Structure 1
């Protein structure tokens, strides 16, 4: 039975998270992984290229050497291991999961706020502060999006929660009550 991408990403990231946390190198590792992820984001398809059979092995190794040249032992070993197992196209998912573990440990929640009009930095900061208190976490990091179809108010979405304070939803709820 082969494992899916999410399962593999969770296993690899958990192992790395535990090791670097124990060694007190989590922040450095996180920063390093985010730089690697940026390289993959800037070079779409890089993971697939390093996994596919279309590229010669020596060419793949040249790219791998560039990626691991300045890497710490832990990050270098992660990259080499994902390469050896033919899972380089999973690397960004592994990094995402690592960041999720860091956020959870630090009680940080990432959310998207959707509003009818652009929100100022001050409004976003206040909203993040209030939402953090409500969720009992240390910090909420908000990503803002504008959608004028909600008419007014805001919708805040996390991975597991949706707080909908939009005018459109309130209108729909009133409509449902009137209809019966």
Structure 2
């Protein structure tokens, strides 16, 4: 278990502040003072697979830590009471000024996102963006730049998140399969 794991980082009860907040199994903490039981669950996040007419895939350059300057898919955390589809559309608007007309769920993968020396376990959901408007497309928010890549133009070592790497590999695998049919 990494030093960033919540069981190692959280030292005080989130409800009463007691230091008598100890692990209760492999994914929860329980307060000996007030009885509060906190479970470590996955946070929901989305990633968008945006392609051009040649089948190249958009990857963005991260403008924030973790992994500043590395490649990623556009996307982010789902806000409370927001659907995954709404989150994809919101994130693409915030990060690229991209308006999405339609999208389709592809797959999901678990991930560990370490932020401020704290592991946030995520369930990342990938969506293929089928129809969108690119007028005024520009990197904003936490993105430095974007570029459309063919698979042979890409070095997978530049994509640090295992879930994102998995989505990109799946996209190109599916693209090859449809070209050979």
Give the TM-score category using the shorter length. Answer: under 0.3
**Larger of the two Rg values belongs to structure:** 1
**TM-score, length basis structure 2:** 0.24
Higher relative contact order (CA 8 A, sep 6+): 2
**TM-score, length basis structure 1:** 0.24
Q: Comparing both structures, which one devotes a greater share of its residues to helix?
A: 1
